[in-house]
C-alpha cells in the first residue's frame, strides 16, 4: 500500500466512491462516518493523511481538525497529520478560516477525483521525507534534514548533543552502546577518563522522550545505553 488515508465522510455513496478509487490507486483506506469515529481511528491506526468532510455528525470536519491539532489529555495521535477538508462552500473567507484551524488543503464539492488524488499525493510528498532521511523507531520519529524529533506525533525539542546522542542510539536500536563508544563517537573524546557528560545528557534525553511513564533510553548499568523501540 502507498499510504494509509483516514476518510471521514457521512454520505455513504461518496464514501464508497472514494474508498473504491483510493484503494484501486494503492492506498489503505480507513472509513469513518462521524467525528468521534474519525478521532478514534486517528488514534488507533495512525494514518498518513486525514480526509474530512465538513458536515460530519457529532463533530464537524473543522472541529475534528482542531482536536487533532490541539490533542487531548490521555489520547495519543499524530498532531501533525496532514488534513484535507472537503467542503460544500468554496468561499474565500471560509477557506482562510479553514486554514487558520489547521487544515493543509481545502477541496470544494463537487470535486474531480483526479484533482483530489493529485492533491493527496502532493501533500504526502511534501510531508514524507525520503526513507534515508527519516528514521522511525516505534513511537519515535527523527527527521534528519530538519533535525526534528517527535514521540507519538508530539514534537520534542533537543539540544545539539542530545540530538546527536539519540541519532547514534537510533542507528542500531536495542543494541547496547558502551559509554566509551558514545563518548568517542558523539563527543569525539580520545582520552575518556571519568566524566559525567554522557550520563547527564542521557538523563535529559530520557526525560524529554518519556511518555506516560514509558522510557525509551535505557541505562545498562556498568556498560552503556540503548534505545528501546517497543
- Whether residue 159 sits in one domain with residue 116: no
Same domain, 107 and 16: yes
Query: Residue 203's domain spans which residues?
Result: 133-227
Q: Cα–Cα distance between 202 and 225 in angstroms, integer?
A: 8
In the chain, the number of structural domains is: 2
pLDDT at 132: 65
pLDDT band at 1 (very low <50, low <70, confident <90, very high): very low
Higher-confidence residue: 195 or 179? 179
- Structure confidence at residue 134 as a pLDDT band (50, 70, 90): confident
Q: Using one digit for the tens of pLDDT, what is the confidence trace for 183-230?
A: 888 887 755 555 678 889 999 999 999 887 788 898 888 788 998 855
Condensed to tens digits (0 to 9), the pLDDT of residues 71-120 reads 888 888 888 889 999 998 778 888 888 999 899 999 999 899 999 999 99
Residue carrying C-alpha cell 478521532: 39
- Tell me phi and psi for residue 153, to 5 degrees: 85, -5
pTM score of the predicted model: 0.60
Same-domain pairing of 33 and 139: no
Amino acid at each position: 500500500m502507498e499510504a494509509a488515508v483516514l476518510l471521514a465522510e457521512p454520505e455513504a455513496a461518496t464514501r464508497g466512491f472514494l474508498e473504491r478509487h483510493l484503494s484501486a490507486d494503492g492506498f489503505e483506506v480507513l472509513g469513518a462516518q462521524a467525528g468521534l469515529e474519525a478521532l478514534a481511528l486517528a488514534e488507533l491506526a495512525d494514518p498518513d493523511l486525514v480526509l474530512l468532510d465538513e458536515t460530519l455528525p457529532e463533530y464537524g470536519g473543522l472541529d475534528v481538525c482542531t482536536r487533532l491539532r490541539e490533542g487531548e489529555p490521555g489520547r495519543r495521535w499524530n498532531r501533525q497529520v496532514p488534513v484535507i477538508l472537503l467542503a460544500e462552500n468554496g468561499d474565500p473567507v471560509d477557506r482562510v478560516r479553514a486554514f487558520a484551524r489547521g487544515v493543509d488543503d481545502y477541496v470544494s464539492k463537487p470535486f474531480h477525483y483526479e484533482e483530489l488524488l493529485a492533491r493527496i499525493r502532493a501533500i504526502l510528498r511534501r510531508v514524507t521525507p525520503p526513507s534515508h532521511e527519516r528514521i522511525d523507531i516505534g513511537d519515535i520519529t527523527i527527521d534528519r534534514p530538519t533535525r526534528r524529533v517527535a514521540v507519538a506525533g508530539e514534537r520534542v525539542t533537543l539540544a545539539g548533543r542530545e540530538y546527536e546522542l539519540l541519532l547514534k542510539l537510533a542507528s542500531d536500536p536495542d543494541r547496547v552502546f558502551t559509554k566509551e563508544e558514545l563518548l568517542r563517537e558523539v563527543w569525539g573524546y580520545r582520552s575518556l577518563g571519568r566524566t559525567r557528560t554522557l550520563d547527564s545528557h542521557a538523563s535529559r534525553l530520557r526525560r524529554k522522550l518519556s511518555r506516560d511513564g514509558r522510557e525509551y533510553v535505557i541505562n545498562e548499568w556498568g556498560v552503556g545505553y540503548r534505545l528501546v523501540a517497543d
